[in-house]
Amino acid sequence: MLGHDVVTAAEAEGHDVVALARADLDITDADAVGAAVEDARPDAVINCAAFTDVDAAEELEAQATAVNGDGAGHLAAAAAEAGAHLVHVSSDYVFDGRAHDPYAEGSGTAPQGGYGRSKLAGETAVARATESFAIVRSAWLFGVHGPNFVATMLRLGAERDHVDVVDDQVGCPTWTGHLAPALVTIAREQLTGVMHVAGGGACSWFELARATFEQAGVDCEVRPQSSEALGRPAPRPAYSVLRSTRPEVPTLAAWPEGLAGYLENRMEAVR
């Protein structure tokens, strides 16, 4: 989902792009990663690969960490060997979600589940393997080229007269069509360190679902539900709003604009 949009954004800027899907490169294989980066001789590497099944990571944490942790370290080491800048995508799940004010880059990390621990392991591995890196934390991604919450709501809205959606989790919905060009900018300008790049503003999943139906013209009622009632295996951060305190870091448009862009992009893809 994100990788596809990064390729589009990079090519739009005129960059030569080598795009490797999971079938092309297993990032848990250090030798394969080293050979692929050496062959491509890139100026920058953008890591969009991830184990993203949050619930499955509770039982398969070792597998999640092999990708999100060790794999990120392999890419960082290979990038360092090639003299390339690494842009690594991380997550709001590295925080515990107990804050009441937006998390900045310097906020203390305290992941509560297997997925968050695997993503934090990736941040640590990247920082240890190379000095030329950007760790970009984002959140609540949705895009045309992969499964996501907004797509699920649109499907359910066409099938039902109402949906129940949690209203006690707040975050920053981020359209990959906005995040991808920001990642390319970070790679091109070789910005370094930890940075937060997510959709502007904040809302709950309940509010995002309601806005999705309103913008898409779908007649479906959204009913509030608690996270406890939903009963998912993995803990979710109750509050995971991300903000950057770094003026040089790209700023994304407000999440409703990202939602509108996604819906328009989705319509174009169907035509």
Task: Give the pLDDT confidence of 97-107 residue by residue, as tens digits.
Answer: 999 999 999 99
Task: Give the pLDDT confidence of 190-244 residue by residue, as tens digits.
Answer: 999 999 999 999 999 999 999 999 999 999 999 999 999 988 889 899 999 999 9
Yes or no: domain 2-270 corresponds to CATH 3.40.50.2000: no
Report the C-alpha gap between 21 and 3 in whole angstroms. Answer: 9
| Domain boundaries, given as residue ranges, for the chain | 2-270
* CA distance readout (Å), 56 to 17, 65, 102, 225, 232: 32, 12, 27, 22, 10
Q: Catalytic positions, please?
A: 115
Please give the pLDDT value at position 271: 63
Please give the pLDDT value at position 98: 96
DSSP state of 242: B
Whether residue 148 contacts residue 223, with contact meaning beta carbons closer than 8 Å, is answered with no
Instruction: Enter the tokens of residue 258.
Output: 């990202």
Say how many Å lie between the first and final Cα of the chain, rounded: 19
Q: Is 193 left (phi over 0), alpha (psi -120 to 50) or beta?
A: left
Task: Give the pLDDT confidence of 117-130 residue by residue, as tens digits.
Answer: 999 999 999 999 99
Dihedral over alpha carbons 78, 81, 83, 84 (to 10 degrees): 0
